[in-house]
Amino acid sequence: MRPFKRLISLEQALSLTSTCAVPTKKTERLSVVEAIGRVSAEDVVSKMSVPPFPRSAMDGYAVRARDTFGASKLKPIRLSQGEAIRVGSVPKKALTKDVCAMIATGAMIPKGADAVVMVEDTEVEGKAVLLHESVHPGQNVSRKGEDITPGTKIISYGQVLNPSKLGVLAAVGRDEIRAYAKPLVGVVSTGNEITELGSELGPGKVYNINSYTLCGAVSANGGQVRMLGIVDDTVEDIERVVRENSDCDILVFSGGSSVGERDIMIDVLERNGKVVFHGIAMKPGKPTLFGTIEEQLVFGMPGHPTSCLSNAYLLLTPVLRKMARLPPQRPACVPARIAKRVVSTTGRTQFLTVRLDGDIAHPAFKESSAITSMAFADGYVVIPADVDLIEKGERVTVYLL
Amino acid sequence: MRPFKRLISLEQALSLTSTCAVPTKKTERLSVVEAIGRVSAEDVVSKMSVPPFPRSAMDGYAVRARDTFGASKLKPIRLSQGEAIRVGSVPKKALTKDVCAMIATGAMIPKGADAVVMVEDTEVEGKAVLLHESVHPGQNVSRKGEDITPGTKIISYGQVLNPSKLGVLAAVGRDEIRAYAKPLVGVVSTGNEITELGSELGPGKVYNINSYTLCGAVSANGGQVRMLGIVDDTVEDIERVVRENSDCDILVFSGGSSVGERDIMIDVLERNGKVVFHGIAMKPGKPTLFGTIEEQLVFGMPGHPTSCLSNAYLLLTPVLRKMARLPPQRPACVPARIAKRVVSTTGRTQFLTVRLDGDIAHPAFKESSAITSMAFADGYVVIPADVDLIEKGERVTVYLL
């Protein structure tokens, strides 16, 4: 068994993984509907004006503003009614002096008109309309191109496509966009004791947990998961997986924390790429191996389910989001007070799961091999490496799971 | 044109929509992989122990703890080496006095052994092993059922299935779970001026924006979208859509803010269900209609793209999440200072979009008909109805888009 030579800090580990993570260059054409939450791989410049014609911003009457000057509730101005202009239609004739045209919100302003009086400020009297307010030229009218003029860059390369960005694409008639592909993350569980869900559990065996927790964390952070199942921990089998999945942007192995297995992963990395670090001063998550094979990142996560998943949160998702060109996650967090004194190991960052009862955080960590350390918790507290004690009642920030 | 009779406050509108929103009762069986982010529709009770057998928490040597008492670096204790126990296998024989068995993390503790000495505290000397530390009974051993005992409720009805919850399901071998179905949201654009993406734009016409922004907001908040395209604003066509989509949990119409169209929606609601409110004291988003047809919620959103989308954020997503049984959204927000004085209308809640430059929030709202009011913004500020002025430099909370 090769011992850890030197543990590096979590901060150093994050810096090294980030340096190795190359933002994806793979792109794909997506429909506007599919593109939600994705990252644009192009600048989109509008070829058209939005609105494409001057239109009414209100239900009311299109007028020549100067015909309305001086109108008030006490001294309304009377105009004769011309045509009624519905949305989606083209006015039949130009507006002439002292004539108004009933117009709907979004309908085309007729030639000759330059303003709209809101319906609330009018009163119909036979074939005439009384105006109770005057309007200035341009009032209640959206000019052609007021929203978007031709040549306006409406989407920039690298922007995340939120609902309003889909809307601005739709506004100029774009029904698809080139977006960055989701990084492909191959997820592998190793170990002779691991049994796939749906199979009977033999003596000495346990079910595959890590593939499912990793799958959840990856898919929630912009990655596409390739489930690679359970692989024997032999150099031949691990190398076969590496060779067959060279199209993955990231390979995540979990397990390999038992006698000899870690050595296998190190050997495979040294033969096919390089080991960047092995061993992080954190708890849980210490026996973590990280390396690269060309631009592919390879994580060797501890087999303990809570160590594996806390590593996924602290180490994997930041680089996954960088490769996906997504902004860093803004983890939801709440302030709380710790329910009892917590002693931490100086020199090791601690990932402490907690249950919340109002604003009181009760430590929920049992052991790193227990999935309930995490599954029965509401969130976690990160205790920095230089802190060795949190007193009962001290304020902490709880990151919600 | 039927005028608004009485505007209600945003708070009243939220209370009314929430009262009408019935959490979904529809459930479906999902694989553990599909279940990420979904809400459990069952209590899951473990039938098995996890771990299913006593196992080693460390790489090292399984021992009888009493054989190690008194061991130290200066006075190591020497045990003879028995079998090596790999993970996934069953120890061949019980451990006898003064014998130790090399054991991997996760491997089964042999009968007779009750503790594990970490490999770091040992030294191999021929066929013997020197122990530099003593261990107490149970040390570095995970008892059978230490993580989960049979009869433990591992998932409760109504819990959101995050990665660790998938992990605890996997731990007990469950490969599927009954989860609540995503509420089905039918999205309809109405109006003669609306043209579908991919078609040529005729005179007086504009592209369909709202279907796409609504689709994005719904799918990001636990809903399943049924895109119903563009529908003519006649009672017959709207009633046909309502009739054909009675399986939708929510129907969202947008448009109908032009002359006569709002009346059509009101007529359809009154004939088939009821109008709950019409008109909210907010800006934008005032001409909003809300009603129910049996348990189905029906929104008549304003046609202006920014009004429609701000309504989706403020009104639609809270009820959608309630129906989906998801917790209220925790919108990401940042503190900022407003770049210039903003005057708001007293008595109306204002949804003010802003662009962020560091911690300075520049108002980005052009007009509610302009999608760029939202698409070129980074977030929004909600100005309460009883605030009519924000002075330059005042602190505001910006909800990120």
**How remote is the C-alpha of B23 from its chain's centroid?**
15
Cβ-based contacts of B175 with chain A (< 8 Å): 197-198
pLDDT for B135-156, tens place per residue?
999 999 999 999 999 999 999 9
Residues A274 and A352 in one domain: no
A203 to B90: CB separation less than 8 angstroms, yes or no: yes
Q: What pLDDT, on a 0 to 100 scale, did the predictor assign at position A1?
A: 46
pTM: 0.94
Q: What pLDDT, on a 0 to 100 scale, did the predictor assign at position A283?
A: 93
Q: What pLDDT, on a 0 to 100 scale, did the predictor assign at position B257?
A: 53
B52 to A3: CB separation less than 8 angstroms, yes or no: no
Cβ-based contacts of A87 with chain B (< 8 Å): 191-193, 204, 258
Domain presence at residue B2: no
Q: With 70 as the cut, is the pLDDT of residue A86 above it?
A: yes
Residues A349 and A237 in one domain: no
Domain presence at residue B109: yes
Number of domains chain A contains: 4
Residues B76 and B193 in one domain: no
pLDDT for A238-287, tens place per residue?
999 999 999 999 999 998 655 466 788 999 999 999 999 999 999 999 98
Q: What pLDDT, on a 0 to 100 scale, did the predictor assign at position A123?
A: 96
Question: What percentage of chain A carries pLDDT values higher than 70?
Answer: 97
Residues B244 and B128 in one domain: no
Domain presence at residue B3: no
Buried b vs exposed e over A273-283: b needs ≥16 C-beta within 10 Å? bebbbbbbbbb
Domain presence at residue A328: no
CATH of the domain at A316: 3.40.980.10
Domain-ending residue, one of A267, A294, A323: A323
Domain-ending residue, one of B93, B127, B142: B142
pLDDT for A336-389, tens place per residue?
999 999 999 889 999 999 999 999 999 999 988 999 999 999 999 999 999 999
- For the segment B81-106, the average pLDDT, to the nearest whole number, is 95
Q: Closest Cα partner for A241 from A259, A265, A222?
A: A265
Residue B88 to residue A236: CA distance in whole angstroms: 19
Q: With 70 as the cut, is the pLDDT of residue A316 above it?
A: yes
CATH of the domain at B101: 2.170.190.11
A167 to B201: CB separation less than 8 angstroms, yes or no: no
Domain presence at residue A369: yes
CATH of the domain at A345: 2.40.340.10
- Please report the ipTM that was assigned to this predicted complex: 0.94
Residues B313 and B256 in one domain: yes
Residues B172 and B211 in one domain: no
A106 to B173: CB separation less than 8 angstroms, yes or no: no
Q: Which residues constitute the domain of residue B80?
A: 55-142
Residues A175 and A189 in one domain: no
Q: With 70 as the cut, is the pLDDT of residue B256 above it?
A: no
Q: Coil, helix or strand for A261?
A: helix
Domain-ending residue, one of B306, B324, B342: B324
Q: What pLDDT, on a 0 to 100 scale, did the predictor assign at position B2?
A: 58
pLDDT band at B1; cut points 50, 70, 90: very low
More reliable by pLDDT, A233 or B165: B165
Domain presence at residue A2: no
pLDDT for B202-215, tens place per residue?
999 999 999 999 99
Cβ-based contacts of B259 with chain A (< 8 Å): 59, 84, 86, 102-105, 119
Q: What pLDDT, on a 0 to 100 scale, did the predictor assign at position B263?
A: 80
A193 to B219: CB separation less than 8 angstroms, yes or no: no
Domain presence at residue A1: no
- For the segment A308-331, the average pLDDT, to the nearest whole number, is 95
Segment among A4-8, A364-368, B313-317 with least mean pLDDT: A4-8
Cβ-based contacts of A105 with chain B (< 8 Å): 257-259, 303-304
Residues A39 and A126 in one domain: no
Residues A206 and A304 in one domain: yes
Residues B90 and B134 in one domain: yes
pLDDT for B96-130, tens place per residue?
999 999 998 899 999 999 999 999 999 999 999 99
- For the segment A297-307, the average pLDDT, to the nearest whole number, is 95
Question: What percentage of chain B carries pLDDT values higher than 90?
Answer: 91
Residues A17 and A133 in one domain: no
Domain presence at residue A5: no
Question: What integer best gives the mean pLDDT of chain B?
Answer: 95
Residues B288 and B320 in one domain: yes
